[in-house]
Structure 1
Amino acid sequence: MQASTSRVPAAAPTPQQQGPTPQQRPLWKVFMVFLGPMILSNILQSLSGTLNSMFLGQMMGFKALAAVAAFFPVMFVFIAFVIGLGAGASVLIGQAWGARQLDKVRAIAGTTLLVGLIFGAVVAVFGGLFTRPIMQLLGTPADILEQATIYSRIVLLGMPGLFVFLLATSLLRGVGDTLTPMWSLILSTAIGLVSTPALIAGWWGLPQLGVASAGVSMILGFSIALVWLGVHLRHQGSALAPGRALLRAMRIDTVLLKGVLRVGIPTGVLMIATSLAGLVVMSLINGFGSSATAAYGAVNQINSFAQFPLISIAITASILGAQAIGAGHSERLPAIARTALTINLALGGATALVGSVFARPLLRIFITDEQVLHVAVELLYIVLWSGLLFGAFASLSALMRASGDVVVPTAITIAVLTVLELPLAWLLSQRFGLIGIWMAFPLSYSITLGLQTWYYKAVWKKRPIRKMV
């Protein structure tokens, strides 16, 4: 497969521009402009949580680490909703930006931010009041309940600001700005890197906050990053800069909100379904003993970083597709799909190759036992090369999402996950042992890719593509 040489208006304009630039650039170059900052942003988001966990575990012990981990299921549900909301808004903003409708860009941003702020306030009030019962309902062990409650309450109270921060980065990507979200995440991560250990140990005369340090550091990080974001966007003259124009747009437009939720809700549901499926797979793995669990943990650490480029390619396809639709150039969508699939094959293949060649030294970072290491290496090979299939159907699904067609692609993924992947994992584990669980991934990914490709060619490409709002 060859990368498309079709040329489109450069769809990664800086925030201060009043619409897409007229300059023509090869589509693959536009993709690459997006990918670098977006991959780094995804890595930083993952790294931030990893660093906090590392500080807590090393400086306070495993109970502090367990207290933070106990809140993760609740945190994930909220984050899934916000990511879904941001995905829907970025599609609508991409279409409005492509059509050079700046007032509509602000209206979509205002509606989305206000909904996120209201939802965050509700979570903060009710979550803050009922934190302890929530943690008890989750079955938090008694010996970490107090610490888990303290940490959870702090994070819940900070939800309004966190939601605004996460939505702001999604909205900026919708107008083609991937650099500003990257710099804001670098700033937020750097603050956490310093403040978490400082608040644990009480450096520089700061109070020793114990397990609360991680929560306070998170709030401190995104708060300072949000202030920087506002100042930077005003300096750049961005259409999304805080000011009177955006404040006037801070009202709930039901038509726009319907469009946002049309894309956002299925996206959030897919994230939650994928997470629940992960818990089922985890229970199957645990049945093979602690060595299998350790191998899974190490493989998952490496694979999560290997998937960042693939996810970033899919997001880029969605944004470029939305901007092309908004500009009235839906005929460019097949070229965007071909380029996304080609880059997925090249970048994903290179990542899988490097990961396979250096599998042992990479896994030795986490594993010292030779028997566990041998199992982990075999599993890593399967997972890394399966990523090519995952990236391909994720890119197709994301491109279709750009037109608002999200229900069927999402339903296909969830159906294969629940009806085929999980039963296959169990059946193959009975026949082939632990490796059988991993064999289910390439099989189910192949089926998903086949169904998504069929829907893309047989249904989606034959429909007229219209703007959502």
Structure 2
Amino acid sequence: MTKDLTSGNPLKVILFFTLPLMLGNLFQQFYSLADTIIVGRFVGVDALAAVGSTGSVNYLILGFVIGMCNGFAIPIAQLFGAHDDSDMRRHVANAAWLCVGWGLLLTVATVLLTRPIMQLMQTPADIIDDAALYIGWIFAGIPFVFLYNMVASIMRALGDSKTPLYFLLLTSVLNIALDLLLILAFHMGVTGAAVATDVSQAISGVLSFLYLKKKFPILHVSAEERRFDTSACRRLSSIGLPMGLQCTITAVGSVVMQGAVNLLGSGAVAAVTAAGKTQNLLTCPLESIGTAMATYAGQNLGAARLDRVRSGVLSAHLMVVVYSLGSLLFLHFFDVAIVGMFIDTDVEVQIVEMACSYMFWNSLFFIPLGALIVWRYTIQGLGYSTLAMMAGVAEMAARTGVAIVLVPVLGFFGAELSNPAAWVAACVFLYPAYRWTLVHLENRLHAGRLAMR
């Protein structure tokens, strides 16, 4: 079930490793879309706005969880590439200990603070009750988010990007079925959407964990390897925490922007929700290329093959450009039809126009977005997650500046410019950071070879 990414044509290796990741991310977005579509079409625009108003704070917390799990997997990928199986299993076991601790802490803290957070974000009064109810139930499922994402990250670190896809497919089907049951049959509204997400994630997480134990004999951990190890936890945390914080720092800017959009009214919130869900779907392939690059870079660093890292990055950029141009063309013809999945286009004409305009301005900058994703994940895979985290600071600063300066002056058009500004700011930081990282690692490897001689 494992796969070595340290040999073969880089473009082919990355492409075939990315495809299952892309399909998995798409299915993950599909069950998120299911919440939005079913709520928007069958509960109402206000309920859609309520769910959408939680998006940035949802990413603030769950992005930290997912980023941290991905970070924990990088030392595992490096040790797998170096064929140090015992130390790899020790890091897997200690990653589990860290996930348990963080899962309990975050669940209690976020559930208790849900409504104060939504009040701090100036959520409109007509949707704040539903918004707090929805995100509170989502946060209650944090332990299962940890469980699934840690298992999936370990599988990917060992070169298996296909199996997580199957469990995401299961999650998507379960989530949609439960959405329909709880919202249409039991009339549970936004609560039904959140509970459906929690239950589907729990089932997928438990089943994927049982599969990992049975099908990956390389991960059969001994009693010695299972013990809590301070040095392993320190190494895992040195990469995992900055990757989690990078997502959180980026999300802070999104939270500030969401507050600015909230002041424009629930119609603007609904437009950004519909456009944002579509954008998340379209950018899944870009995120998948990035996730593949983290594993690819980690394994090749473990094998001391930085030449393959360079060629892999060039191949990934080629994939980004081709896909981004295709996405721009697709939106040109189908933007209204896509928004129509969430909103009645015959009734909410102004909201539809706002959503289409938002998607257009964001899609123009998909190439810079893809570039920053490739550079960021490559830097993380090479072990410099703190450096990659600083790009999140650049994104946060750009979004905050737009929210404070441009939105009050330009209104909704100012909100449309927030993501492009953040992506360009991150690229300005990440390109020299990527170049420095490779030079620094090449010098270290060269010094190591001289010392051995």
Query: Normalising TM by the smaller chain, what interval?
Result: 0.7 to 0.9
Normalised by the length of structure 1, the TM-score is 0.79
What is the aligned counterpart of 1:164 among 127, 147, 151? 147
Match of 1:113 in 2: 96
Give 3-state SS (helix, strand or coil) of 2:97's partner.
helix
What is the aligned counterpart of 2:315 among 339, 344, 353? 339
Kindly state the Cα deviation for residue 176 of structure 1 after the two structures are TM-superposed.
1.3
Kindly state the Cα deviation for residue 425 of structure 1 after the two structures are TM-superposed.
5.5
Higher RCO (CA 8 Å, separation ≥ 6 residues): 2
Q: Is 1:299 the counterpart of 2:283 in the alignment?
A: no
Look up the equivalent residue of 1:120 and give its one-letter code.
Answer: G
**Number of residue pairs the alignment of both structures matches:** 438
Kindly state the Cα deviation for residue 141 of structure 1 after the two structures are TM-superposed.
9.9
Give 3-state SS (helix, strand or coil) of 1:176's partner.
coil
Look up the equivalent residue of 1:182 and give its one-letter code.
Answer: L
Alpha-carbon distance in 2 for matches of 1:289, 1:151 = 19
Kindly state the Cα deviation for residue 91 of structure 1 after the two structures are TM-superposed.
1.1
TM alignment of 1:80-91, pairs within 5 A: 80-91=63-74
TM alignment of 1:65-76, pairs within 5 A: 76=59
Alpha-carbon distance in 1 for matches of 2:359, 2:180 = 33
Alpha-carbon distance in 2 for matches of 1:359, 1:294 = 16
Kindly state the Cα deviation for residue 400 of structure 1 after the two structures are TM-superposed.
1.2
Look up the equivalent residue of 1:20 and give its one-letter code.
Answer: D
4+ runs of 1 displaced by more than 6 Å?
A: 57-74, 140-154, 208-211
Normalised by the length of structure 2, the TM-score is 0.81
Encode CA deviations 1:181-232: one digit per residue, 9 max, x unaligned.
11111112222222344356678xxxx9886655554444234324432454
Structure 2 residue runs of 5 or longer lacking an equivalent are: 446-453
**Are the aligned partners of 2:118 and 2:131 in contact in 1 as well (CA < 8 Å)?**
no
TM alignment of 1:452-463, pairs within 5 A: 452-457=430-435, 459-463=436-440
TM alignment of 1:363-374, pairs within 5 A: 363-365=339-341, 366=343, 367-368=345-346, 369-374=348-353
Q: Is 1:320 the counterpart of 2:304 in the alignment?
A: no
In structure 2, the CA distance between the partners of 1:423 and 1:293, relative to structure 1 (3 Å rule), is: same
Kindly state the Cα deviation for residue 154 of structure 1 after the two structures are TM-superposed.
6.3
What is the aligned counterpart of 2:381 among 398, 402, 410? 402
In structure 2, the CA distance between the partners of 1:157 and 1:247, relative to structure 1 (3 Å rule), is: farther
Structure 1 residue runs of 5 or longer lacking an equivalent are: 1-13
Match of 2:450 in 1: none
In structure 2, the CA distance between the partners of 1:82 and 1:361, relative to structure 1 (3 Å rule), is: closer
In structure 2, the CA distance between the partners of 1:215 and 1:99, relative to structure 1 (3 Å rule), is: same
Alpha-carbon distance in 2 for matches of 1:74, 1:328 = 39
**Are the aligned partners of 2:392 and 2:426 in contact in 1 as well (CA < 8 Å)?**
yes
Q: Is 1:309 the counterpart of 2:292 in the alignment?
A: no
Percent of pairs identical after alignment?
Answer: 21
Kindly state the Cα deviation for residue 236 of structure 1 after the two structures are TM-superposed.
3.4
Alpha-carbon distance in 2 for matches of 1:371, 1:59 = 20
Alpha-carbon distance in 1 for matches of 2:282, 2:118 = 31
**Are the aligned partners of 1:136 and 1:145 in contact in 2 as well (CA < 8 Å)?**
no
Kindly state the Cα deviation for residue 344 of structure 1 after the two structures are TM-superposed.
1.0
Match of 1:100 in 2: 83
Encode CA deviations 1:218-274: one digit per residue, 9 max, x unaligned.
44423432443245445534434xx5x266533332222222222222222222222
Kindly state the Cα deviation for residue 97 of structure 1 after the two structures are TM-superposed.
1.2
**Are the aligned partners of 1:314 and 1:399 in contact in 2 as well (CA < 8 Å)?**
yes
Bigger share in helix? 2
In structure 2, the CA distance between the partners of 1:251 and 1:383, relative to structure 1 (3 Å rule), is: same
Q: Quote the RMSD (CA, aligned, Å).
A: 3.7
Alpha-carbon distance in 2 for matches of 1:151, 1:442 = 29
Greater shift after overlay, 93-102 or 71-80?
71-80
Alpha-carbon distance in 1 for matches of 2:139, 2:212 = 27
Match of 1:20 in 2: 4
